[in-house]
Amino acid sequence: MKVKIKRLSETAKIPTYAKHGDAGMDLYVDSIISENIYQVCYGFGIAIEIPEGHVGLVFPRSSVYKTGLHLANSVGVIDSGFRGQLTAFFTKDNSGQYYKVGDRACQLIIMPYPQIEFEEGELSETERGESGYGSSGL
């Protein structure tokens, strides 16, 4: 699938797959948009045109555990109509281990999604039923 992309700065890097077959493309920090004692907002310096019927999902990279950062909204959702800069807000701890410009901070996955129409009514029976959190064991 081809997706249109626009660099918003001369230093912005196009997302890349680290290895053949990877699901997520690495997003590179191009700028620090804002930062305070509690959070930091990274700009990736790119805008993309996600095809209609698809969504962009932004996840932290697995190496985020080596930092004092946590993606503030757990997973970023980029709708197909959005044309602004891709950014990510992280909450910070006091470790001082944060991303710098040029680092890979997140991964982008673009995938199709169905349009859902709800049909109100009774639900089918299942073995699990209404059993909730932890009902299948640890």
Lowest-confidence pick of 55-64, 106-115, 126-135: 126-135
Cα-Cα end-to-end distance for the chain: 40
Model pTM above 0.75: yes
Q: What is the DSSP letter of 16?
A: B
Q: Look at 131 and 70; give whichever has higher pLDDT.
A: 70
In angstroms, the CA 95 to CA 55 distance is: 33
Spell out where the chain has E strands. 4-7, 25-28, 31-35, 39-43, 46-49, 54-60, 69-71, 76-78, 87-92, 104-112
4-112 is classed in which CATH architecture? Distorted Sandwich (2.70)
Q: What is the DSSP letter of 64?
A: G
Mean pLDDT to the nearest integer, 12-26: 97
Mean pLDDT to the nearest integer, 5-32: 97
Banded model confidence at residue 138, pLDDT cuts 50, 70, 90? low
pLDDT tens-place string over residues 66-123: 898 999 999 999 999 999 999 999 999 988 789 999 999 999 999 999 999 999 999 9
- 101, HSE (Cβ side, Cα atoms, 13 Å): 10
- Give the per-residue pLDDT at 129: 83
Let me know if 48 is exposed, middle or buried by CB neighbors in 10 A (0-12, 13-18, 19+): buried
Q: Which residues contact 101 (CB under 8 A, 6 or more apart)?
A: 11, 29, 30, 31, 32
